[in-house]
């Protein structure tokens, strides 16, 4: 029997993110990762996992939503086969109900259990943060995200980065550029708009940044104009999701009374005086 090299990256590499920022795994891809050659056998495991989910009083439809996957036959004919978009918890239940004789099943059980717990802890810790702490946390992530996005955009052929970033802002803020946002917030010349956002607004921008970065890489987008269009479209898509969910649009969110730079200076003064 062919030996399969497995590690935690096996499951991370097949993880997907939907338009709402939610992670999921495709059942057909997980089938291969868990070394099931036949869909019929793997589908039985999925059914058992669904029963376990139901017994835990958790919505099966939320964890195991059905999907269709398109395939091309040898004759070039396109058809559709059954698939599922699995949540992390669904993957954990599948691993728990899988063939325990397979080494990869043991790894999957550990991976999805640990990652699920780690995610819960992270969310709990974040919820317990003050608004000020959340702002610093989100700003650090946007800083790292923008660095990665700039590197990706550069490889795509972007040279005018002001225009590139404004394309994203225009999509997310209904046509507003970075300068428009700064003026609306009453900021001084060249003052960083991201330093003057609350945690919710920062989170929306972080999603714009990371999704654009992923899209440019995944679709191997080339050309400055195409990169700008992609950034705008991602921003606009996120704006549409915000509207659909009935949440507050970013330009309607309040501007904090103090910028993060001001708060950082205050923190340093406090440390000096201790």
pLDDT in tens, 61-110: 989 999 988 877 667 778 889 999 999 889 989 988 888 788 788 788 77
User: Residue 165: pLDDT above 90?
Assistant: yes
Task: Answer yes or no: do 146 and 261 share one domain.
Answer: yes
Mean pLDDT of all residues belonging to the chain: 87
C-beta contacts of 25-31 below 8 A and 24+ residues apart: 25/85, 25/86, 25/88, 25/90, 25/91, 26/67, 26/69, 26/83, 26/84, 26/85, 26/86, 27/83, 27/84, 27/85, 27/86, 28/69, 28/81, 28/83, 30/86, 30/91, 30/94
Give the E-state strand segments of 127-184 in sequence order.
none
User: Residue 4: pLDDT above 90?
Assistant: no
User: Residue 247: pLDDT above 70?
Assistant: yes
Give the E-state strand segments of 66-138 in sequence order.
66-72, 78-86
pLDDT at 214: 87
256: left (phi over 0), alpha (psi -120 to 50) or beta: beta
Task: Answer yes or no: do 55 and 149 share one domain.
Answer: no
Task: Answer yes or no: do 26 and 123 share one domain.
Answer: yes
**What are the structure tokens assigned to 269, written together?**
């003064």
Q: How confident is the model at residue 128 (pLDDT cuts 50, 70, 90)?
A: confident
Task: Answer yes or no: do 175 and 205 share one domain.
Answer: yes
CB-count burial class (<10 Å; 0-12, 13-18, 19+) for 31: buried
C-beta contacts of 96-104 below 8 A and 24+ residues apart: 96/49, 96/52, 97/45, 97/48, 97/49, 97/52, 98/34, 98/45, 99/45, 102/34, 102/35, 103/6, 104/4, 104/6, 104/10, 104/33, 104/34, 104/35
pLDDT at 5: 41
User: Residue 1: pLDDT above 60?
Assistant: no
Task: Answer yes or no: do 164 and 60 share one domain.
Answer: no
For 139, the domain range is 131-273
User: Residue 274: pLDDT above 60?
Assistant: no
Task: Answer yes or no: do 166 and 267 share one domain.
Answer: yes
Final residue before a domain boundary, out of 60, 94, 127: 127
Higher confidence at residue 125 or residue 247?
247
Q: Is residue 1 part of a domain?
A: no
**What are the structure tokens assigned to 176, written together?**
């507003």
pLDDT at 271: 61
Final residue before a domain boundary, out of 127, 160, 195: 127
Q: Strand, helix or coil at 35?
A: coil
pLDDT at 245: 84
pLDDT at 168: 98
Task: Answer yes or no: do 102 and 180 share one domain.
Answer: no
Chain centroid to CA 182: 27
Task: Answer yes or no: do 83 and 169 share one domain.
Answer: no
Task: Answer yes or no: do 57 and 81 share one domain.
Answer: yes
Task: Answer yes or no: do 177 and 112 share one domain.
Answer: no
Task: Answer yes or no: do 99 and 164 share one domain.
Answer: no
Mean pLDDT of the 208-215 span: 91
Q: Is residue 70 part of a domain?
A: yes
Q: Is residue 3 part of a domain?
A: no
Final residue before a domain boundary, out of 83, 105, 127: 127
Number of domain units in the chain: 2
Q: How confident is the model at residue 228 (pLDDT cuts 50, 70, 90)?
A: very high
Mean pLDDT of the 184-196 span: 94
Q: Is residue 73 part of a domain?
A: yes
């Amino acid at each position: 029997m062919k030996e399969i090299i497995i590690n935690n990256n096996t499951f991370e590499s097949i993880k997907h993110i939907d338009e709402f920022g939610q992670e999921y795994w495709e059942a057909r891809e997980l089938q291969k990762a868990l070394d099931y050659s036949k869909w019929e056998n793997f589908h039985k495991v999925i059914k058992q996992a669904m029963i376990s989910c139901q017994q835990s009083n958790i919505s099966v439809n939320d964890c195991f939503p059905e999907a269709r996957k398109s395939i091309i036959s040898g004759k070039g004919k396109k058809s559709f086969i059954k698939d599922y978009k699995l949540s992390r918890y669904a993957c954990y239940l599948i691993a728990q109900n899988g063939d325990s004789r397979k080494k990869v099943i043991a790894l999957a059980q550990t991976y999805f259990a640990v990652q699920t717990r780690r995610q819960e802890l992270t969310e709990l810790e974040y919820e317990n943060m003050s608004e000020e702490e959340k702002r610093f946390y989100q700003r650090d992530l946007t800083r790292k995200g923008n660095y990665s996005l700039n590197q990706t955009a550069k490889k795509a052929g972007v040279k005018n980065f002001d225009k590139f970033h404004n394309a994203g802002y225009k999509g997310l803020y209904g046509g507003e550029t970075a300068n428009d946002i700064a003026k609306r917030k009453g900021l001084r010349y060249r003052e960083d708009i991201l330093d003057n956002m609350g945690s919710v607004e920062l989170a929306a921008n972080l999603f714009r940044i990371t999704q654009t970065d992923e899209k440019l890489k995944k679709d191997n987008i080339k050309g400055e104009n195409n990169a700008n269009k992609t950034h705008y479209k991602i921003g606009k898509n996120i704006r549409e999701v915000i509207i659909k969910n009935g949440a507050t649009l970013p330009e309607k969110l309040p501007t904090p009374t103090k910028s993060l730079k001001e708060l950082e200076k205050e923190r340093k003064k406090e440390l000096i005086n201790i």
